[in-house]
Structure 1
Amino acid sequence: MPLLFIGIDPDTKTADSPTVWVDQDKRELVLQGWEPAPELHAECAAFEAPGHAVGIPDGEAVVRIPARMIDMIREACDVLQRADDH
């Protein structure tokens, strides 16, 4: 099944386009966002979470999503949750 488009940053003008999708087959949120500034990336990579190695593993990325997209992210979560209820 193709990705289910949920929404795009309402402040998108041209090339900036943080976007939210749902992959219903894999049961995942798919988020497109901005690359973080180097200092934010470094801060995330240095963060220590209990039970996890420090750093950003290969195959993972840090992205920034504007708060104005919260409703879209909630909608995407609701789509996945409704599928769990069936």
Structure 2
Amino acid sequence: MSFTFLAIDPDTGNTGSPTLWIDEQTGDLIIQAYRADGATLDECRRVGSVAGHSVDVPEGETIVRLPARMIPLLPRS
């Protein structure tokens, strides 16, 4: 793996900050953000995604909440 730092939450202090990296080998975006609370998880399940797809979050995955102020910091392809 070879990660490159992209951005940190501009409104952050010195700890626990939403942060973005990119894996230079795969192009994957690596995100440190806030773990979604129960209400957010419930809403994701209620809304769902594609017809017939499970609304459960599988083992090894999670839902995170990235502050809107960081959206402009996401890389564009």
TM bin, normalised by shorter chain, reads 0.7 to 0.9
TM-score, structure 2 normalization: 0.82
Deviation at 1:53, TM superposition (A): 1.3
Which structure 2 residue ranges, 5 or more long, are not aligned?
A: none
Residues 28-86 of structure 1 show CA distances to partners (whole Å, capped at 9, x for unaligned) of 1111100122111222234422242121111111111111111211xx23xxx3xxxxx
Give structure 1 stretches of 5+ with no counterpart. Answer: 82-86
Compute the RMSD of aligned alpha carbons: 1.7
**Is the 2:44–2:55 contact (alpha carbons within 8 Å) kept by the matching residues of 1?**
no
Q: Percent identity?
A: 38
Secondary structure of the structure 2 residue equivalent to 1:31: strand
Q: CA distance change for structure 1 residues 2 and 29 in 2, over 3 Å: closer, same or farther? A: same
**Partner residue, 2:14:** 14
Compare the two structures and name the one with the higher strand fraction. Answer: 2
